[in-house]
Every structure is written in structure tokens, then in C-alpha cells.
């Protein structure tokens, strides 16, 4: 079996650790999470690593460098999934990292750093509605208000910790300090169509977008649908609809992506003019400056169109994360890696999706290697990778690790 075949087979072998036999769903602090950790730990040990689960349920493996206790180059991704997931989002990066460690073998003992592999426990936020819990613990950015988050059955995060055998009071022990780490490298499927469209196997990630999310509220006046002539109407839903098409048109003409994913209308009667419409907006761009400029433009245009219709307009910002800029020196190592895999002028792209690296970037330097994914499909059971891309990815990832050694 080729190494790429083995990585792919292991990704799909993890599908059996699922909440449902019909589809893949593996969420934070579940029995499936524990079982997947145990399987991944067994593969880590086969590759020569010492293994442990940290105080937040993240699975680690480590091989020492040329002397024990050196700072570590951390390789990895996440092992949790969305509901009805594919087999590669997250898992591929963990299993590629283990394969690279196995391939490097005794050469790691000559490196000026230790090599660690991490399988983060919660990137997707499926269970508690809050993403990046595993890497937030590792980055020392745990927020104590999160203990009160509840899952679909009413269990709190604190209760789930205890049920998993973890001590909520000990979560601080999961924290990695900057001086313990050389950097963090993550391989991940692209989750979009750009590499495929460019006929490339691998890509060099420039930044990981930080989203801003808003709740927009348009208010008009609820009145009788039959009795109210148009000049007297202040229809909140028509105003919101105009705002939504404006958002799409404005974002399409830019490098940003903007999505309205939720809308509610009140009072919601078939024979009542909508008096109020609330809708969400998710806004992403390669840099915070582009994203913020897009928001300024949208905000003023929506305010103007609402005013023209006699509608009220109010905004609440519900989420804001800064974009994470990949470290130039680590990106140079990724580029050298991709060159070793045969592509001397790798495609650069920004990650429209969030990743553990966003949080790890607060403690150490981060870079990412993207792999082409079939038809750009992700967060779907149809998620797939080509064996040739995984093969090239392994060559690139290993060469990137050696490139880090040259620069350390």
C-alpha cells in the first residue's frame, strides 16, 4: 500500500467512530471522540510517538529531536466533524502528519526541534455551537463563560468535560506556551474549488479569513395586506430583500464573500404586511481591512435604501475574529515543500473557512498547506481527495518540515 493510500484508508477507517451508522458525525467529548482519539493514538505510537490526551481532549503524539525537551514543531488538524460530514475535513491533516513522522523516522532525532502531531478535539463547534474549543484551550484562550454552553440535550460543557473524564478546573493545563513551540503547520483540504479550477494539487495559504457577523434589523409597519395601498406601506421584508440582493451584488463585485443565512419575519401572517425582518450577515475577506471596508460600504447603502423606504434600520455585531496572516518564513517552508512535490510556482490562496491555525496563531507562527478537494465539496459526505494529491501533499509536508529545520 502506498503511503497516500494508507492515509486515505485511515481517514475513512475513522468514519466508524460516528454518532450514527448512517452518516458521519463525531462531536466534542462524545464516545466517538474518545474512540477516534484512541485509534489515532495507536497509529501515532506505530509511528514511534509518545502519546497523551491533554486537559481539553486534544490527542497528541511527540518524537524528541536531537535532545529531549526541545521546543516542538507542531503538525496537525482536527478530528471532530460537522453533522453528515465527509471523511477528510480535519482528519486528513492529522493522518498526513502522522505519515510524515513515520517517514522521517530516525531523522527526527537529528532535528533541532521535537516534532509533535495534534488531533484537535473541537474545531467545528457542532455540539456546543462554539467553534475552535480544542485549539482555544491549547492557545490558552479558554473563556470561563463557555462552561455554561449547552448541547442539544441540555448538558453543559462543564458536565460534558466531567463525563469524558476531564476536569473542568484543569483546562488551563492544555495551554501551550510560545517558548514550547517552533510553529504550527496544518495540511487541510481546500474546501473550495480554486485549486481544482487551476488544475493544481497543492496551495500555499496566505491568510485565514476572520469573519464578522451581524444581525440586521429592518422595521416597518404591520398592516392589512388588502387594505393598505402601496404609497402607505412600509414593508420590512421588501426592504430586507432589497438589502440582501444589494449585499450579494456588492460582494460579487469584490474579493469578499457575504452570506445571509437566516431571516425571520414578524408578525409572519400571510395577510399581514411584514412589520419587521431580522437577518444575519456573515462577511469574510483575505484581510481585515478589505472586510471592514466592505462592511462600511454595505452598512451605508442599506441604511440609505431603508431610509428611502421609510424603514428603520439597526445592526448588532454578533461575532468578530481577526484574519490570521500566515508567517512569511513558515510559508516559505511550505512553498519549498510544494516545489519538492513538483510545483515550483505554487498557487497562493486565502482560506475562506476558519481553521485551528486562527487560534494557534496567537501563540506561535502558523502556515497551511491546502490540498485540492474533489469538486470543491466539503462539509458533505461527498467530500473526496485524489490519491495523487495526497501523495504530493506528503512529499510537500515532509519537505516543509525539513525546510523548517534548515531555518531553525
Binding site for Zn ion (CB under 5 A): 89-90
Q: Within a 10 A sphere around the Cβ of 252, how many other Cβ atoms?
A: 10
Write down the least CB distance from residue 96 to Zn ion, Å.
Answer: 13
Q: Which helix (H) or strand (E) holds 189?
A: strand 181-189
Nearest partner of 120 among 143, 148, 139, judged by Cα: 139
Closer of 89 and 190 to Zn ion (Cβ): 89
Least Å from the CB of residue 123 to Zn ion: 5
Judged by beta carbon, residue 221 or residue 384, the one nearer Zn ion is 384
Q: How far is the CB of 371 from Zn ion (least distance, A)?
A: 12
What does the CA dihedral 57, 59, 63, 68 come to, rounded to 10 degrees? 0
User: Residue 89 or residue 116: which is nearer to Zn ion going by CB?
Assistant: 89
Helix (H) or strand (E) holding 18: none
Instruction: Please enumerate in sequence order all residues whose Cβ is within 8 A of that of 300, keeping only pairs 6 or more positions apart, or say none.
Output: none
Nearest approach, Cβ of residue 90 and Zn ion (Å)? 4
Q: 206 or 351: whose CB is closer to Zn ion?
A: 351
Q: Are 323 and 291 in contact (CB under 8 A)?
A: yes
The residue (of 135 and 364) whose beta carbon lies closer to Zn ion is 135
Segment (H or E) for 116: strand 114-120
CB of 184 to Zn ion, least distance (A): 14
Going 386 to 23 to 123 to 51, the CA torsion angle's sign is negative
CB nearer to Zn ion: give 44 or 82: 82
Q: Whole-number minimum distance, CB 13 to Zn ion, in Å?
A: 18
> Mutual orientation of helices 3-13 and 387-407 as an angle, nearest 10°?
110
Q: How far is CA 236 from CA 208, 241, 299, 315, in A?
A: 35, 9, 16, 14
Amino acid at each position: 500500500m502506498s503511503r497516500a493510500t494508507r492515509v486515505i484508508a485511515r481517514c475513512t477507517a475513522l468514519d466508524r467512530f460516528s454518532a450514527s451508522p448512517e452518516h458521519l458525525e463525531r462531536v466534542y467529548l462524545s464516545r466517538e471522540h474518545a474512540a477516534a482519539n484512541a485509534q489515532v493514538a495507536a497509529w501515532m505510537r506505530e509511528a514511534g510517538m509518545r502519546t497523551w490526551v491533554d486537559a481539553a481532549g486534544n490527542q497528541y503524539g511527540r518524537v524528541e529531536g536531537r535532545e529531549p525537551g526541545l521546543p516542538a514543531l507542531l503538525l496537525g488538524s482536527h478530528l471532530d466533524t460537522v453533522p453528515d460530514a465527509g471523511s477528510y475535513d480535519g482528519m486528513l491533516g492529522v493522518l498526513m502528519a502522522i505519515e510524515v513522522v513515520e517517514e522521517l523516522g530516525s531523522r527526527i532525532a537529528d532535528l533541532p526541534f521535537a516534532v509533535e502531531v495534534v488531533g484537535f478535539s473541537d474545531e467545528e463547534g457542532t455540539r456546543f455551537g462554539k467553534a475552535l474549543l480544542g485549539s482555544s484551550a491549547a492557545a490558552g484562550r479558554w473563556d470561563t463563560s463557555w462552561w455554561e454552553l449547552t448541547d442539544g440535550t441540555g448538558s453543559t460543557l462543564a458536565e460534558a468535560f466531567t463525563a469524558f473524564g476531564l476536569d473542568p478546573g484543569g483546562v488551563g493545563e492544555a495551554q501551550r506556551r510560545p517558548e514550547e513551540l517552533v510553529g504550527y503547520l496544518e495540511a487541510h483540504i481546500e474546501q473550495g474549488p480554486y485549486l481544482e479550477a487551476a488544475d493544481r494539487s497543492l496551495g500555499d495559504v496566505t491568510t485565514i479569513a476572520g469573519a464578522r457577523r451581524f444581525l440586521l434589523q429592518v422595521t416597518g409597519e404591520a398592516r392589512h395586506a388588502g387594505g393598505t395601498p402601496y404609497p402607505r406601506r412600509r414593508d420590512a421584508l421588501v426592504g430586507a430583500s432589497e438589502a440582501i440582493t444589494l449585499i450579494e451584488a456588492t460582494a460579487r463585485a469584490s474579493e469578499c464573500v457575504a452570506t445571509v443565512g437566516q431571516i425571520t419575519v414578524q408578525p409572519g401572517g400571510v395577510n399581514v404586511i411584514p412589520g419587521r425582518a431580522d437577518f444575519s450577515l456573515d462577511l469574510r475577506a483575505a484581510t481585515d481591512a478589505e472586510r471592514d471596508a466592505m462592511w462600511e460600504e454595505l452598512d451605508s447603502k442599506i441604511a440609505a435604501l431603508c431610509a428611502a423606504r421609510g424603514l428603520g434600520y439597526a445592526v448588532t455585531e454578533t461575532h468578530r475574529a481577526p484574519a490570521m496572516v500566515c508567517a512569511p518564513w513558515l510559508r516559505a517552508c511550505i512553498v519549498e515543500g510544494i516545489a519538492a512535490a513538483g510545483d515550483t510556482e505554487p498557487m497562493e490562496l486565502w482560506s475562506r473557512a476558519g481553521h485551528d491555525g486562527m487560534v494557534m496563531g496567537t501563540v506561535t507562527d502558523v502556515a497551511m498547506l491546502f490540498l485540492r478537494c474533489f469538486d470543491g465539496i466539503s462539509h458533505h459526505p461527498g467530500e473526496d481527495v485524489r490519491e495523487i494529491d495526497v501523495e504530493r501533499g506528503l512529499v510537500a509536508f515532509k519537505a516543509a518540515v525539513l525546510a523548517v529545520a534548515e531555518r531553525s
